[in-house]
Amino acid sequence: MGIGIVGWVVIGVIGLVILWWIATYNRMIVLRNRIDNAWSQVDVQLRRRYDLIPNLVETVKGYAGHERATFEEVTKARQAGIDARSVQDQAQAENLITGALRRLFAVAENYPQLRASENFMQLQEELTGTEGKIAYARQFYNDSVLGYHNLIQLFPARTVANMGGFKPRDYFEIEESGARGPVQVQF
Amino acid sequence: MFDQIAANRRRSHLLIFCVVLLIVGIGYFLGLYFELGEYAVFPALLFALLLAWGSYYHSDKIVLRISRAEPATKDEEPYLLNTLEGLSIAAGLPMPRPYIIEDSAPNAFATGRDPQHAAIAVTRGLLDKLNRLELEGVIAHEMSHIRDYDIRFMTLVSVLVGTVMLLSDGMLRNMRYSRRHGSGRQGNPLALVGLVFIILSPIVAKLMQLALSRQREFLADATAAQLTRYPEGLAAALEKLGADTEPLEAANKATAHMYIINPLTEHKGWANSLFSTHPPIEERVKRLREM
């Protein structure tokens, strides 16, 4: 007398559930790693911007030394960005930096010689390019977070997430006002 | 997206298979026609396999060379490189190798066999005539070709179909020549079939090239909008490209379908019809604006 048909069905169902469990768990690991990878992309670009800012400030100082308040604002915002630890702090600091840089470039508008200098034009291209890259890295990061949340928050995968300790992550949100979008710099 | 990738892989394999078969077939019939015996198939097979191998691994280089594209460096082209790097981040792909075509007609294409071995070539005119947001739209369009493995299929079509066209061209000429000079047998019905085959093959090849790219362009436009989150950039770029009447000198019939808009002059007139490799620009712009 074996375990009978019912027994086999039960074993089969348990086996399927275990397989599903493993697959779901592994998928969560993959998505979580993708978020970490996406964040490191954001980080690389943010650091690139921190590296460019002192150069920019020095260059502008050479032509417009008395615009002290603007320089200080940029430097302070940059330091806040470097010191930020959580995703939310980072996002806040980035808003400050973007705003401060915009004011710095607005100041630069008043100095035709500065605008014409090779060094300044290069820095401006690099900063604009880096801001674009930050925006795209942020977009990829947020998309990754969304995909991860969709998996860990929906039933029944949710139970796997609870037991495996998969926690939701923060979105990297910045003010949309002009960080991306059709901003035309008028010369 | 994953369906698209799988379909492109399948199509690429099928294309290689068909071209190998076609060349072996041509070899067989030529052997009959010139009474070389059945073993004439083997050199043809060898040639076809070599061609398949070569075009799988090297067609990107061939296409770039034909299009007179030169590698671009960060120091010389920071604008292009920054844009490219940003969009590879957005797409989550490694950065494709950047190339520049020194031509004032604005256009661009992507090539390679997979995202790890991809290249994007843009013309000087594209960099000069588009603003940053428009350039991002165009690059995003090319990035989606790369992500979906369109580049593998499109590049293979360029090289393989180009070769088949070249071969049957040559053979047709050769055959007319030998007939006029009395060699070769006229009465063999198989040889006649072969002749039909040789005449047909470039037509088949051409049809294949036409069938592939219209839907693909719409899809790449949509993905580009998703990458940049700004469909208007690409829409404005397409309008500018469409309004530009300059032909691209380094483009030819084998590579035309790879470009973001048809680089040959004929796209102004009748070609906006059934036989065009690209959907009409107005239609693409309209779809982008509706997003």
CB-based contact (8 Å) between B134 and chain A?
Answer: no
How far away is chain B from the Cα of A1, in angstroms, using its nearest Cα?
Answer: 49
- Note whether B143 and B42 are same-domain residues: no
Q: What domain count does chain B have?
A: 2
How far away is chain B from the Cα of A184, in angstroms, using its nearest Cα?
Answer: 9
How far away is chain B from the Cα of A38, in angstroms, using its nearest Cα?
Answer: 8
- Note whether B265 and B127 are same-domain residues: yes
- Interface contact A135-B83, CB threshold 8 A: no
CB-based contact (8 Å) between A124 and chain B?
Answer: no
pLDDT of residue A1: 58
Per domain, the residue ranges of chain A are 37-144
Annotation marks residue B142 as catalytic:
yes
CB-based contact (8 Å) between A126 and chain B?
Answer: yes
Long-range interactions of B225-228: CB distance < 8 A, separation 24+: B225/B137, B225/B140, B225/B288, B225/B291, B227/A136, B227/B87, B227/B90, B227/B91, B227/B140, B227/B143, B227/B144, B228/B87, B228/B90, B228/B133, B228/B136, B228/B137, B228/B140
* Domain-ending residue, one of B195, B211, B227: B211
- Interface contact B79-A125, CB threshold 8 A: yes
pLDDT of residue B276: 62
B186 pLDDT higher than 80:
no
pLDDT of residue B142: 95
pLDDT tens readout for residues A36-92: 999 998 999 999 999 999 988 888 888 887 888 888 889 999 999 998 888 888 888
CB-based contact (8 Å) between B90 and chain A?
Answer: yes
* pLDDT, mean of residues B124-153: 93
- Note whether B164 and B116 are same-domain residues: no
- Note whether B86 and B16 are same-domain residues: no
pLDDT of residue B71: 95
Q: How far apart are CA B106 and CA A85, in angstroms?
A: 45
CB-based contact (8 Å) between A122 and chain B?
Answer: yes
Q: What is the residue-averaged pLDDT of chain A? A: 86
- Note whether B49 and B97 are same-domain residues: no
- Note whether B6 and B145 are same-domain residues: no
Quote the pTM value: 0.80
- Note whether B271 and B282 are same-domain residues: yes
pLDDT tens readout for residues A128-150: 889 889 989 999 999 999 999 99
- Note whether B72 and B143 are same-domain residues: yes
Which chain A positions have a beta carbon within 8 Å of B90's beta carbon? 136-137, 139-140
A-interface mutation test, from B2, B81, B82, most A Cβ less than 10 A away: B82
- Note whether B22 and B118 are same-domain residues: no
pLDDT of residue B277: 65
- Note whether B7 and B145 are same-domain residues: no
* Domain-ending residue, one of B161, B177, B211: B211
Which chain A positions have a beta carbon within 8 Å of B224's beta carbon? none
Which chain A positions have a beta carbon within 8 Å of B132's beta carbon? 128, 132
Which of helix, strand or coil describes residue B23? helix
Q: Hey, what amino acid is at A132?
A: G
- Note whether B86 and B110 are same-domain residues: yes
B52: domain range? 2-62+153-211
